[in-house]
Homo-oligomer: A and B are copies of this chain.
């Protein structure tokens, strides 16, 4: 027997990402379009456990499509990882009459939703919101495109000063487990080398590459380093190594940090969020549950949660080769 959905909850969970507000808006308005009530759940699963809900109508989400962050706030919840925590959450949802929810977040958030669904047979849908693009089953995650542009803009600025002073810069960008951001901004920022979690370039080859580029007449260079780069050294350690093993370079370091998560979402992310919000709600309404909405070949499609959380998205090896050729 199908649930008949009358009230849908929406929450943002885990690290925030640009476009989350656009997705909230899309969920709320699609509910309004189908005459379904919609409730915002504050601070992710924390707020779900506490019953921190607010009713949202179509007008309540005006002027947020272009705002970074999330108006519903986000959090990581330890309590929701316990059976007791989830039971409390279920109680709160039931009390409020919410009979399905859409969670916007990363794979941790989806795992939570999946377990919750199993325990309470509660309809859930996920929208992948994280700048890292590290989720299996979707070519893009929400916020990734915006973050790429934010990082490239910062690299362009650093390049101004790098090339004015003939400097070598190590720039650390986000990406603990996957190198998507590093790989793309490295190409787009004209980086000499790109260090990512998936490939171990090795310190020797790095130094060799920098020597070669210096010999070829380049007077300044940028090396983009993902947080979780395989060499396993921080940008500060990399700087020290190069200082000790190369001459003639003034080496500097820049850690871009949290600004990568903020900012007004790109056109792509706003449209992507809107499409996913529609898809999530309309699939709940026809009785589907336990899926992540995502994009495959430019089409919005569903992937079962258990598949989405098992895999990691793979980097495109073609890009490594493009980067090598471009940095000649």
| A-to-B contact residues, CB < 8 Å | 12, 15-16, 18, 20, 25-26, 29-30, 32-33, 43, 58-59, 62-63, 65-70, 73-75, 139, 145, 148-152, 154, 156-166, 169, 184-185, 187-190, 216-218, 252-264, 266-268, 270-271, 274-275, 278, 297-298, 300, 316, 318-319, 321-322, 325-326, 328
Contact = CB atoms under 8 A, between A and B. Distances in A.
B266 A266 contact: yes
B259 A188 contact: no
A186 to B, nearest CB: 9
* Most B-side CB within 10 Å, residue of A25, A165, A300: A165
A164 B73 contact: yes
Nearest to A250: B75
Contact of A298 (B139, B257, B259): B139
Contact of A160 (B69, B166, B298, B316): B69
A55 to B, nearest CB: 16
Copies in the complex: 4
B73 A165 contact: yes
A74 B164 contact: yes
Nearest to A183: B271
A87 to B, nearest CB: 25
* Most B-side CB within 10 Å, residue of A145, A189, A254, A258: A258
Contacts of A15: 161
A278 B318 CA distance: 10
A257 B161 CA distance: 11
Contacts of A253: 257
Contact of A254 (B257, B263, B266): B257
Given A69-B161, A145-B268, 13 more contacts: A58-B216, A59-B216, A63-B159, A66-B156, A66-B190, A157-B259, A159-B262, A161-B261, A184-B267, A184-B271, A188-B270, A298-B316, A300-B318
A157 B267 contact: no
A219 to B, nearest CB: 8
Nearest to A75: B165
B262 A156 contact: yes
Contact of A150 (B26, B157, B258, B262): B157
B188 A271 contact: yes
Contact of A165 (B16, B188, B268, B297): B16
A154 B259 contact: yes
Contacts of A148: 266-268
